[in-house]
Structure 1
Amino acid sequence: MSVGLVIVSHSDKIAVGIGELAGQMAPTTRVLAAGGLDDGAIGTSFEKITRAIAEADDGAGVVLLCDLGSAILTAETALDFLDDDQRERVVIADAPIVEGAVAAAVAAETGGDLAAVVTAAESANRPGTREPGESTESAEALSARATLVNKDGLHARPAADFVKRASDFEASVTVNGVNAKSLLRIMSLGVGVGSELTLTAEGPDAQAALDALVELIESGFGEV
């Protein structure tokens, strides 16, 4: 089981587009679009949202991302009509719809539970704050360096690949001081081709994490 996502927008095209973007980075995660009215007009549909929640939920829960206040109201109404058991595992994230959806999708893809996926989505509200996993270096931390070789740098797709690989390890990992398991933090680095990345890791599999991430970076993320 894994957490599913529902994108609630006043526009069907926006909801579908965000779902496609998130799906590029989280191909096995269920991302359902619930945009526009049933006839395709601008608005939000109780029926569309209800159907999307049912399709997205396999028992692990569903996170909803909404574009405007009235979308939230419609989503809240849909939640009111769910069975008590299902309602407990459906959450409307307080997050910007694009950044939140992308971060949530990657968190779901890497096995995050409902709380972790909501936290990932809502981290988009705090781009400048320190996150868990961004503690100051300790004497036990290992470090390594690698240079970006893919011409487009650490853009969305390789950033997602990097986060998913980092999440395979128990170790706490940072890259240039930010949490390597947070997609939004990695993308905020804005590093391009030729940039040197400094990685640190601390935990029982720290060296294995560093080796795997350095190899991924130096491979060009399959783009070279």
Structure 2
Amino acid sequence: MTVGILVVSHSASVATGTVELARQMAADVPLVAAGGTEDGGIGTSFEAITAGLEELRDTDGIVVLCDLGSAYLTTETALDFLDEDDRARVHVSPAPLVEGTVAAAVAAQTGGDVTAVLTAAASAAGTPDTDRPGGTAPDPTPAAVDETAGSSDGAVASAAVELVNESGLHARPAAEFVKTAARFEARVRVNDVDAKSLLAIMALALPKGATVSVEASGPDARQAVDALVALVRSGFGE
């Protein structure tokens, strides 16, 4: 499953910068910036959005994030020109542009489907994972199943480790932590937050020397804890 992400902003710099930031944590995800007007001014461009959608056409699904109200309107106009099948593959998230894009990109990097990517974007501000404007979000059942994967299994594991990298659990290490946790069929928590939620981990703001407490339940609980502890001890390669 490959999910592409289109970033629509009134500013070319904002759109490009957001994509560059997300790529630092999700290098394999197709990300396209559609910012500013055709003459380089502030505004949104129907042509740029259409070109971005076309560039992402070969993905299994597209998630669009926008900065301001008129960006949604221009995106809606572009979607109206798509045929029915192509339109069904595009989902517009109401999540905040920068935080939502980063969270969505990490979810896509870990192999998440459109539902998982929309849910991750929505977690940026607790926004509902429904399309905007118009459209309908995919069936949320797969995300719900994934969220509780292995929770009915009796296996439980935990460990605590000291954070050794100089910059603490900032964006890039947090993304590595999430990508590692997502590999396992287990419900994993770190310092009492969801270890598969980038924004939740970043919100911990753990500095060097902080204790990272990892708990997991499910079929892969022990493997998940061991892998995450090893990642923290390695300093995330920094």
Q: TM-score, normalised by structure 2?
A: 0.88
Q: How does 1:1-224 map to 2 (within 5 A)?
A: 1-126=1-126, 132=147, 140-223=155-238
| CA deviations over 1:154-174 (Å, ceiling 9, x no partner) | 000000011001111111100
- Contact (CA 8 Å) 1:15, 1:33: kept in 2 or not? yes
Q: Which moved more, 1:100-109 or 1:81-90?
A: 81-90
Aligned counterpart, 2:135: none
SS in 1 for 2:219: coil
Rounded to whole Å, the distance in 2 between the matches of 1:139 and 1:29 is: 35
Question: Where in structure 1 are there 5+ consecutive unaligned residues?
Answer: none
* Cα distance per residue 1:42-80 (max 9 Å; x no partner): 110011001101112324111011000000100111111
1:198-221, Cα deviation, whole Å (9 max, x unpaired): 110111111011110000000000
Q: CA deviation at 1:141?
A: 2.6
8 Å Cα contact 2:38-2:45 kept in structure 1: yes
8 Å CA contact 1:3, 1:57 repeated in 2: no
Q: Deviations over 1:174-196 (max 9, x none)?
A: 00011111101110111000000
In angstroms, what is the RMSD of aligned CA positions? 1.7
Return 5+ residue gaps in structure 2 as ranges: 128-143
Residues 1:3 and 1:32: Cα distance change in structure 2 (over 3 Å): same
Residues 174 and 201, structure 1, Cα contact 8 Å, conserved in 2? yes
Where 2:42 maps in the other structure, the secondary structure is coil
Deviation at 1:125, TM superposition (A): 1.4
- Asked if structure 1 preserves the Cα contact closer than 8 Å seen for 2:154 and 2:218, the reply is no
Residue by residue over 1:82-118, the C-alpha shift from the partner in whole angstroms, topping out at 9 and shown as x without a partner, is 1100111101101000000000000000000011101
Query: Could you say what secondary structure the match of 1:197 adopts?
Result: strand
CA distance in structure 2 between the partners assigned to 1:34 and 1:103 by the alignment: 19
**Which secondary structure does the structure 2 equivalent of 1:188 belong to?**
helix
CA distance in 2, matches of 1:139, 1:146: 24
CA distance in 2, matches of 1:185, 1:8: 25
**Contact 2:156 2:222 (C-alpha < 8 Å) held by counterparts:** no
Per-residue deviation, 1:34: 0.1
Q: CA deviation at 1:126?
A: 2.2
Which consecutive segments of 4 or more residues in structure 1 shift more than 4 A? none
Q: Distance in 1 between matches of 2:7 and 2:103?
A: 13
Number of matched pairs: 217
The amino acid of 2:42's aligned partner reads I
